Amino acid sequence: MGQLRKTGKRRRRGARIALLGAIVAAALLAQPYAKDAWHMLGLQIERLGGPAVSDEAIGLEPSENGPAPGGSAIGDAGGVEASEGADAARADDTRQDDPGEGGQDDPEALGGRGEAEGETGEGGRDDSEALSMSDEAEGEDGEAGEDGGEDGGRAEAEPAGRQWEPVPQPKDYGYREYQDLYPELYASRPAEWSSSDMTVFLTFDDGPTAHTGQALDTLRDKGVKATFFVVGSSVRKLGPEGKDLLNRMVDEGHSLAIHCDVHDYRRIYASVEAFLADFNAAYELIYEATGVHADIYRFPGGSVNSFNGPVRDELIGEMERRGFTYYDWNLTAGDSSPNLTADSAYSNAVSKAGRKSRIILLMHDTKKQTVKALPRIIDRYRELGYSFECLTNEDKPITL
């Protein structure tokens, strides 16, 4: 039996050598196809155990199309973000109660998408992004990044597969009198947005609060940057400590963003003028406390909610005209639930891990249990090979 195997191997080897001769002959007789023939020759040499033969080694220019199929493990897995926010569940608008000022228990999606999509086992549905992602980009268990779960405050590596695209022009609604309000309320809108594969943006709404310091401690110890969407009334409620926390966020490299000044939906969304007044108050508070001109924001209740329908498009158009960019989310910790535990916050926060390549995670630093779950959330994403970044206005938004 062993002799027959050796004989078979010799025959196959002989057939390959004969094929090599035919390829060389074709290369010499058909010059227009010489390049392809040399490539086939190189592949056969490698299969026979010889050295790799590069284009440069045989005097050919590298292919303008990049590596051959299979040359890239990831490919275009990042393309899933084309519909990053489109998979959000548009839950029925059954809740119409006004959260009022300081309504921090609000699910941040009153009639937009609610927290149902982030709750494991409750109202969850298959994510269309998950079906379009390649296996290589899914971050399978057991094949995590090399530094998964390590503490020590190290900096995150630059995410792979960063892509850039032009920022669309704001929709022109023509002249409106409110355009003359707050002449200093403008930001520089970038020419391009970027996105990158396997990236998580941790975002915290409604703070600062008594729990924010603990969240900052965890982020510092883990070497992770996050984005804080600030509520002006929450800053004032803490007195001097509120501004101290804002400055600590800046000093430790986090992004400061605007949520609102007073968490009162009916007041904020009464008109474009009302929204601008509230936004400007929060903008001025952050600038006076830290010297930062915040240029990104998150709509209270998300960009699609039960209160902003009549003015939503005009609000977005005016804020874009002024150079500001808004960010929703595509995953939540579900921490508006009255039955929240650290375990449920963790489970919700990682429920789509490995099935989304790019995640903006909504959390609240008003919730003790969320802050308690934060170390485990970070460790889990690192185990799956994700990097962490804080949002800037150069990051492509995810919207509802």
pLDDT band at 203 (very low <50, low <70, confident <90, very high): very high
Sign of CA dihedral 361, 115, 296, 238: negative
Cβ-contact 242, 234 below 8 angstroms = yes
Pairing, β 199-205 against β 358-364: parallel
Residue type, 227: T
**pLDDT tens, 240-256?**
999 999 999 999 999 99
Q: How far apart are CA 14 and CA 241, in angstroms?
A: 81
Q: How far apart are CA 387 and CA 217, in angstroms?
A: 19
pLDDT band at 133 (very low <50, low <70, confident <90, very high): very low
pLDDT band at 77 (very low <50, low <70, confident <90, very high): very low
Whether the predicted pLDDT of 160 surpasses 80: no
The pLDDT value recorded for residue 62 is 32
Cβ-contact 362, 113 below 8 angstroms = no
The pLDDT value recorded for residue 21 is 55
The pLDDT value recorded for residue 207 is 98
Average model confidence (pLDDT) across the chain: 74
The pLDDT value recorded for residue 185 is 98
Q: Tokens 């802050």 map to which residue?
A: 371
Average the pLDDT over each of 20-29, 284-293, 381-390 and give the range with the smallest value: 20-29
Pick 368 or 152 by higher pLDDT: 368
Cβ-contact 228, 207 below 8 angstroms = yes
From the number of C-beta atoms within 10 Å of its C-beta (0-12, 13-18, 19+), residue 25 rates as exposed
The pLDDT value recorded for residue 143 is 35
- Token pair for residue 331? 């995953």
The pLDDT value recorded for residue 319 is 98
Contacts of 185 (CB under 8 A, 6+ apart): 276, 279, 280, 283, 322
Whether the predicted pLDDT of 194 surpasses 50: yes
Mean pLDDT, to the nearest integer, of 128-144? 34
Cα 261 to Cα 232, 288, 311, 316, distances in angstroms: 4, 14, 18, 18
Cis bond before residue 208 (omega within 30° of 0): yes
The pLDDT value recorded for residue 12 is 53
Residue type, 172: D
Q: Determine if residue 185 is left, alpha or beta; phi over 0 gives left, psi from -120 to 50 gives alpha, anything else beta.
A: beta
Average the pLDDT over each of 90-94, 150-154, 207-211, 293-297 and give the range with the smallest value: 90-94
Pick 280 or 66 by higher pLDDT: 280
Query: pLDDT above 70 covers what percent of the chain?
Result: 60
The pLDDT value recorded for residue 230 is 98
* DSSP element (H, E) containing 35: helix 34-47
pLDDT band at 14 (very low <50, low <70, confident <90, very high): low
The pLDDT value recorded for residue 387 is 97
The pLDDT value recorded for residue 202 is 98
Mean pLDDT, to the nearest integer, of 279-290? 98
**pLDDT tens, 329-347?**
999 999 999 999 999 999 9
Q: How far apart are CA 151 and CA 223, in angstroms?
A: 7
Average the pLDDT over each of 39-53, 225-239, 309-323 and give the range with the smallest value: 39-53
| Nearest Cα to Cα of residue 68 among 90, 39, 47, 94 | 39
pTM above 0.75, yes or no: no
**pLDDT tens, 291-324?**
999 999 999 999 999 999 999 999 999 999 999 9
Q: How far apart are CA 232 and CA 235, in angstroms?
A: 5
